[in-house]
Amino acid sequence: MRAAALALTLATLLVACAGMEPFEPPVTGELNPEPGLFSGENGAFILYRSDRQSQPAEKAEPERRLTDPPPI
């Protein structure tokens, strides 16, 4: 009987909880994502790595001299 009541309570809780949207509660004592005095709305200074910066610079085409043969 007790086991059934416990199971029913747990099932009710699970159903009730399932109807709610999940959210991330603030973690007590930690740096939660909130605005910062200098960093602004992000709350952090964020550095990104970009493909453009990580790729080596393209080699410039050498200047043709008048004596060079014409391109084929």
Beta carbons of 12 and 3 less than 8 angstroms apart: no
- Does residue 3 touch other proteins according to CB under 8 A? no
- The yes or no reply on residue 56 touching other proteins (CB under 8 A) is no
Residue 57 and residue 64 in contact, taking contact as beta carbons nearer than 8 Å: no
**Residues 2, 4, 50, 72: which binds other proteins (CB under 8 A)?**
50
Pick the stretch among 1-9, 15-23, 59-67 that binds other proteins (CB under 8 A). 15-23
At CB < 8 A and 24+ separation, what contacts does 42-48 make?
A: none
Which residues sit at the interface with other proteins, rule CB under 8 A? 14, 17-31, 34-39, 42-54
